[in-house]
Structure 1
């Protein structure tokens, strides 16, 4: 059952829904299928995010520089393709685009275990698959954010919908890395990657089964003018711009950390794939908590100062190079840091998504979302390369310490926006 707009009187399962009544989100059939599809594809993705770097380190003997390149390629589409994809999202049926993005990712990821089975897997293939999958994942993410208001037309429930989606990501993040570590340990990393491929195909089928309204695009302006409109609206929304700029500076240091983390965990800390998976499970409880509490916390305390707290929590990466002692202590300390970081990141994402969907017209969501991705993830390739170079020049632990301190760079941006009263949902159409 598609959800109705605010103030609409209609019949809902044999009874009259009065004007102004909020229909429970769980009654929205289209959103329900969408949510389950997210759950499955994200579960597989969590496995691959652990398995692919392990393939590079354990099977292909990748060093710090190679890991930096691999990490940079994952985020490079956000620099090279995001503006084009943002315009494209506003020119096509978004539900259909979600389906084909899932299918494409399934086929690309399936090429890794296929090549491994014939002993022809190379770093070059990992690089190519990582870049292309990153591009389709980016397109999916842009279409996904723009499609949610189509599924959930009652804007009073957008925060709940975004929290539910974040909760989906968090649920899979809790189990995915642990399952991935076990699969890698027992069945090898290429087999674990095959699970991700299958999950994307199932998700694509579910999205077709649950897809309801998929409105035709209304944007017909020229490409250059379309982009200018997206940039203009992004600049006007100062709260959204501040959160995005803060996350963009954080992401530079985050991608540098990602480039070195698996290598540091395996070579310097001597952790196994299962132990690395256990850390990821502990860390993923932070996003899970954010998905559960964001709506209540933002309603009770407001989004202004709680966003500053979220920015401070991004410094959780500092605990990676500071973790010492027995394996159990190291796992607990790094896991705690990732828990705090995940809590802060997902809280800020939910707040910004809700601000975006309240303040920006539906036919502009793809382009404004593309600008957000460009600012936020554009620094990622440079961060990944910088992490690899820092690791080569100074060693893994000192490099991770530098990158961990840099993770706090979002705090000035978000604090300034809070002091200027830019973090608000009052700018609602």
Structure 2
């Protein structure tokens, strides 16, 4: 196993060398022969992206990072409070990575952070930037704000990268042509977890979900994934609580008595699944259930796009660079923002342009691939613009496995066993692309 791991890491590093050499070669050829980009640009639109104009031969490619202030319930654990730079820190690291290669191609990237307190303010900021020619937006917003922002920018030469919202409807009936998703969908996350349970042959589940809307969406996704991979949900319950309350305020004794009582009459099961995206009760269940069984879902053993303890596929140096720059570990939102900005940089390297329409067309083609410390190339699904990627199945301290699991096959790529596959899509925005 160690030899295989070392071979994967070495292979991952070797793959990055040709990309660097290609960048140098393209730069030399461009300056020597004054060659044109391989991919021709389309005729300028009404607001042709001004970042594509060259000043002193340098293509300036600005990227906006937009986030909105949201009222969130405080988490149970003090360890779960979000850092102030969650997301933007990953985007800033990606800018550094883009500029490392970009300097050889006379490309310069920068990220502009624009937090907003309301949806209207965020849309106003984005519209102003689009009118000034900025064409790339990485966002961490609610699903409804994302749709409103997409509609506001639909007539501009601009594209939005969704780094924060996992809702499946954004990849289904509410998909938009100008939105790409680096955040995994909720279906991808639950498929990753259920695949691992199926591989372990832990087939009998109990589902405990919270009353919040996102809790119910996660629970619905668990039900779909369980049916998809042949697992049984023996019992499905809602754990009711008063939002924002803290049972621990009365002492651990109260929780220690309540959780066993709640789980005492459950049928014999293999794994208890909790659906608590709001982080209001799920952490109470591990080690407190009536019978000794694993807890998984949003707490316990959980699916995630990134884990701060990952050292696979050359990730150690990636983790170290992020920690040196930001002073903390990388979180999933940081990783999604990093992939969004790196997607822009990778496409710009290959096309030698900063025009959003050209770059997005390239990203959705079979020529695009993104190296992202996941052991294989990542690509966008052409039917809904969701970034394909392996997902970790992890605990708080360490990852346990990586999905797709062995034995889950697909006619195109095993990555499409996670989430919404082409035959299941309800997205029509890309049909006549």
Question: Normalising TM by the smaller chain, what interval?
Answer: under 0.3
Answer 1 or 2: higher relative contact order, Cα 8 Å, separation at least 6: 1
Structure with more of its chain in helix, by fraction: 1
TM-score by length of 1: 0.28
Larger radius of gyration: 2
